Amino acid sequence: MPDNARVSIPSAFLQELLARADLVEVIGRHVALRKSGANYLGLCPFHAEKSPSFTVSPAKQFYHCFGCGAHGNAIDFLMAHTGAGFREAVHDLAAQLGLTVPEDERSPAERAREAAQRQQQASLTDVLARAAQAYRAQLKAAPRAIDYLKGRGLTGQIAKTFGLGYAPPGWRFLSTVFPDYQDARLVEAGLVVASDEDTADGAASQRRHDRFRDRIMFPIRNVKGEVIGFGGRVIDGGEPKYLNSPETALFHKGEELYGLYEARSAIRQAGCALVVEGYMDVVALAQWGLGHAVATLGTACTPDHVRKLLRFTDDVVFAFDGDAAGRRAAQRALAAALPWATDTRRFRFLLLPPEHDPDSYIRAHGAEAFAAALAQATPLSRFVLEVAAEGCDLATAEGRARATAQAQPLWQALPDGALKRQLLHELAELAALEVRDLQQLWHTDARSGRAAAPSARSARSARSAPAATAPPTHRAHADAIAPGAATAATAEVPAAAPPRGRWPARADAATLQARRAARGLLGRADRIARIVLTTPQAWDWLTADDHALLAAEPPPHGPLFAWLEGQWLEHGAQPWAALREALRGQPFEALALALHDSGLGLERVDANAPEVASADHEELRRELRELLRRMRIEALKQLETDLIGRAATDPAALARYRDVVHERRRLQNEDEPV
């Protein structure tokens, strides 16, 4: 580790660390705190006291003791309470949040430039805070603005919470607030507009006027509560309806969210964040008790917006107007959310009726109706299918092909995980393709930049696709990845021709697998299925990762394993007789029967003896571990190929590729199969 004199911690990381830390939680690990109004109260850990005088402000992320004067932020507390040095306290706090502390090896000149930039930002913050105070004062003396806000259902308390103000109609109101109206900081902060003009003697001068005039003012705050910009709304019918601060050294609208500072506690309490489009939507929802709403700032939702929200919650709902513009906004939000949609995060989308936005909807129908609508919001996986199918006639091959092309960038934007694998099966069903054919098609597109030539299997699938009269429905996962539905009769008699209008290519695949199993021609998936079908307790030996790996197998094995997992979760280990009855009518019934029968000859005559049964089970366990190890190796090899194809356009793919290679080699070099 480099010494402290030469290596410092980047200031941007420290700001990020303090923004993400919950001071109440950090201090609560060391001090017993109780709620007292807006703050928390406890006995000061820095001096002996019997009556609590130690307060923690969750809004300001600051603690203060009225007895001894101790005060500071999360890092200050850890240093004072644990005796740690600054770097140690930073590393401790970062570890609590699951962050890695970067090292800063900038030159002194670079650090000096950053220090000057920080000084400039602090100066602009002071200017904006002063303007916000002046606008708030103007609101109290503006009956027309007050009547407008009351007409929108807002109270004085909610206006105070969000710091609402009013910019009077004069061109130079701010000249009465700031002693030097020519101060360059007014322009840099986005409060004043300056334009050059020529004087009579040919000299150049600047003409200045306030940017915001005769508007309700919504101060935009960062997560520390500092004003970094404004949004202004007209009271009467003027244009533009909303006017935002321009991009400044403090304000970047592609990164900031209106209302996030005010909503932080409510987001934690609600367990989710609600993203809307307008300032008034945020304030109105808070007025109705839904304080966990935030809004984008006159721009589409960006990945930076999503990343910032994920500091506070893993559950995000996007609620937009139901008109065409709202739907476009929802699709842009989907694109921003996809790279962050891991298996532990939840994104949902709510499109309101076309005549409503969140503000008008909750005023017309009430908070309970709005909460009920939120509960029915569309999950990300379903919205991906809707967006992929938009404008496509799924009753035709051309329409399904177009939907496939529209789905490709959406699916590829998802991070690797169970969600991505499950969605692949549903998209394959939407396209009337086998999963492997769809993967091959998209992988070839990624490598060559042009459409892949159809494989023989996909050609057969296309020829055998039914003449559908309506788009296929999206069924539950086990059905979505299953081959075409087969009746009990066709399952019992594999050679029977499929009825007209079915999916003969998929039914034939299941039949072929059953015939191969009956002849003893077993692949890895066959052998695993044979073990779990003939040994009721074998499913208990597998881990959740094993279950996911098996369920991701292509049909008919993947659907069979998914079905077996459902049976195991619902009923526990079952004897073959019970499984046999439950299998009737399932599309993989014939395959399961053939695999079970092929395993009967492997049973030992005296298998009921405890010592023999134990030995048999240990042998089966070893076989299962080895089969799954090899299956994982093959899956990782396929993933390596996919990542190499994406590396040219996705820098993260190369790093992921190295991790996958390391894991695959580890599995290949293991002495004891796992």
**Residue 31 lies in domain:** 11-97
* 409-418 as b/e: b if 16+ CB within 10 A: ebbbbbeeee
Confidence at residue 514, expressed as pLDDT on a 0 to 100 scale: 59
* 113-138 as b/e: b if 16+ CB within 10 A: eeeeeeeeeeebbebbbbbbebbbeb
Within-domain flag for 271:
no
| 339 secondary structure, DSSP code | G
Domain count, the chain: 3
Residues in CB range of 77: below 8 A, 6 or more apart:
23, 26, 27, 63
What is the domain-level CATH number for residue 591? 1.10.860
- How far is residue 661's CA from residue 405's CA, in Å, rounded to a whole number? 30
* Residues 644, 538 within the same domain: yes
Ramachandran class of 441: left when φ > 0, alpha when ψ lies in -120 to 50, beta otherwise: alpha
More confident residue, 9 or 426: 426
Phi, psi of 499, deg, nearest 5: -65, 155
Query: pLDDT tens digits for 491-526?
Result: 332 333 333 333 333 334 555 555 555 544 577 888
More confident residue, 185 or 595: 185
Within-domain flag for 48:
yes
Distances (CA, A) of 164 to 137, 146, 218, 233: 10, 10, 5, 11
Query: pLDDT tens digits for 112-152?
Result: 776 677 677 778 899 999 999 999 999 999 999 999 999 99
Angle at 428 between CA 424 and CA 434, to 5 degrees: 115
More confident residue, 29 or 373: 373
CB 223 within 8 A of CB 214: no
Edge-to-edge, what's the strand order for the sheet holding 293-295?
A: 293-295, 273-276, 315-320, 346-351, 378-379
Confidence at residue 615, expressed as pLDDT on a 0 to 100 scale: 57
Ramachandran class of 585: left when φ > 0, alpha when ψ lies in -120 to 50, beta otherwise: left
Helix (H) or strand (E) holding 370: helix 367-375
Within-domain flag for 521:
yes
More confident residue, 573 or 524: 524
Instruction: Count CA atoms within 13 Å of residue 306 on its CB side.
Output: 24
Confidence at residue 56, expressed as pLDDT on a 0 to 100 scale: 92
Within-domain flag for 146:
no
Query: pLDDT tens digits for 198-226?
Result: 444 544 456 899 999 999 999 999 877 88
Confidence at residue 142, expressed as pLDDT on a 0 to 100 scale: 94
- How far is residue 416's CA from residue 413's CA, in Å, rounded to a whole number? 9
CB 104 within 8 A of CB 10: yes
Instruction: Count CA atoms within 13 Å of residue 394 on its CB side.
Output: 21
Confidence at residue 602, expressed as pLDDT on a 0 to 100 scale: 45
* Residues 618, 535 within the same domain: yes
Helix, strand counts (H, E) of the chain: 29, 16
* Residues 547, 655 within the same domain: yes
- How far is residue 324's CA from residue 321's CA, in Å, rounded to a whole number? 8
- How far is residue 348's CA from residue 341's CA, in Å, rounded to a whole number? 11
Q: Judge whether residue 573 has pLDDT over 60.
A: yes
Chain centre to alpha carbon of residue 143: 43
What is the domain-level CATH number for residue 60? 3.90.580.10
More confident residue, 465 or 323: 323
- How far is residue 589's CA from residue 592's CA, in Å, rounded to a whole number? 5
- Token digits of residue 295: 């809004």
* Nearest Cα to Cα of residue 235 among 151, 356, 137: 151
Instruction: Give the CA radius of gyration of the chain.
Output: 32
* Residues 538, 399 within the same domain: no
CB 73 within 8 A of CB 56: no
Which residue among 445, 465, 494 closes a domain? 445
CB 504 within 8 A of CB 577: no
Query: pLDDT tens digits for 346-368?
Result: 999 999 998 888 989 999 999 99
How far apart, in Å, do the first and last CA atoms of the chain sit? 37
- How far is residue 418's CA from residue 546's CA, in Å, rounded to a whole number? 12
Helix (H) or strand (E) holding 636: helix 610-646
Confidence at residue 496, expressed as pLDDT on a 0 to 100 scale: 32
Which residue among 97, 119, 154 closes a domain? 97
Q: How confident is the model at residue 197 (pLDDT cuts 50, 70, 90)?
A: low
- How far is residue 544's CA from residue 417's CA, in Å, rounded to a whole number? 13
Bridge partners of residue 193, in order along the sequence: 209
* Residues 573, 646 within the same domain: yes
* Residues 628, 541 within the same domain: yes
Helix (H, G, I), strand (E, B) or coil at 473: coil
Confidence at residue 463, expressed as pLDDT on a 0 to 100 scale: 34
Mean pLDDT of all residues in 265-276: 87
Q: What is the mean pLDDT of the chain?
A: 79
Quickly list DSSP for 282-313: HHHHHHTT-TTEEE--SS---HHHHHHHTTT-
Helix (H, G, I), strand (E, B) or coil at 361: helix
- How far is residue 272's CA from residue 256's CA, in Å, rounded to a whole number? 18
Instruction: Count CA atoms within 13 Å of residue 448 on its CB side.
Output: 10
Chain centre to alpha carbon of residue 635: 25
Among 50-64, 161-175, 559-573, top mean pLDDT goes to 161-175
Tokens 């909807």 map to which residue? Answer: 361
Query: pLDDT tens digits for 318-331?
Result: 999 888 888 999 99
Within-domain flag for 180:
no
Q: Hey, what's the torsion of the CAs at 657, 663, 664, 665, to 10 degrees?
A: 110
* Residues 535, 429 within the same domain: no
Burial of 408 (0-12, 13-18, 19+ CB in 10 A): middle
Weakest mean pLDDT among 403-407, 456-460, 599-603, 644-648: 456-460
Percent of the chain scoring above 70 in pLDDT: 79
Phi, psi of 119, deg, nearest 5: -65, -40
* Residues 572, 653 within the same domain: yes
Mean pLDDT of all residues in 42-67: 86
- Token digits of residue 396: 């035709």
Chain centre to alpha carbon of residue 652: 17
CB 556 within 8 A of CB 483: yes
Burial of 17 (0-12, 13-18, 19+ CB in 10 A): buried
Within-domain flag for 319:
no
Confidence at residue 111, expressed as pLDDT on a 0 to 100 scale: 63
Helix (H) or strand (E) holding 205: strand 204-210
Confidence at residue 504, expressed as pLDDT on a 0 to 100 scale: 33
Within-domain flag for 341:
no
Bridge partners of residue 194, in order along the sequence: 208
Handedness of CA 634, 637, 639, 642 (dihedral sign): negative
- Token digits of residue 669: 């070099």
Confidence at residue 512, expressed as pLDDT on a 0 to 100 scale: 54
* Residues 438, 541 within the same domain: no
Q: How confident is the model at residue 610 (pLDDT cuts 50, 70, 90)?
A: very low
* Residues 518, 421 within the same domain: no
What is the domain-level CATH number for residue 427? 1.20.50
Mean pLDDT of all residues in 521-539: 82
Within-domain flag for 81:
yes
Q: Judge whether residue 455 has pLDDT over 80.
A: no
Percent of the chain scoring above 90 in pLDDT: 34
Handedness of CA 360, 365, 366, 369 (dihedral sign): negative
Confidence at residue 319, expressed as pLDDT on a 0 to 100 scale: 95
Which residue among 428, 445, 462 closes a domain? 445
* Residues 660, 520 within the same domain: yes
Q: How confident is the model at residue 670 (pLDDT cuts 50, 70, 90)?
A: low
Angle at 435 between CA 433 and CA 436, to 5 degrees: 105
Distances (CA, A) of 97 to 8, 18, 22, 100, 337: 20, 10, 10, 9, 22
One-letter amino acid of 271: G
Mean pLDDT of all residues in 610-637: 76
Q: Judge whether residue 313 has pLDDT over 60.
A: yes
**pTM tops 0.75:** no
Confidence at residue 459, expressed as pLDDT on a 0 to 100 scale: 38
* Residues 434, 532 within the same domain: no
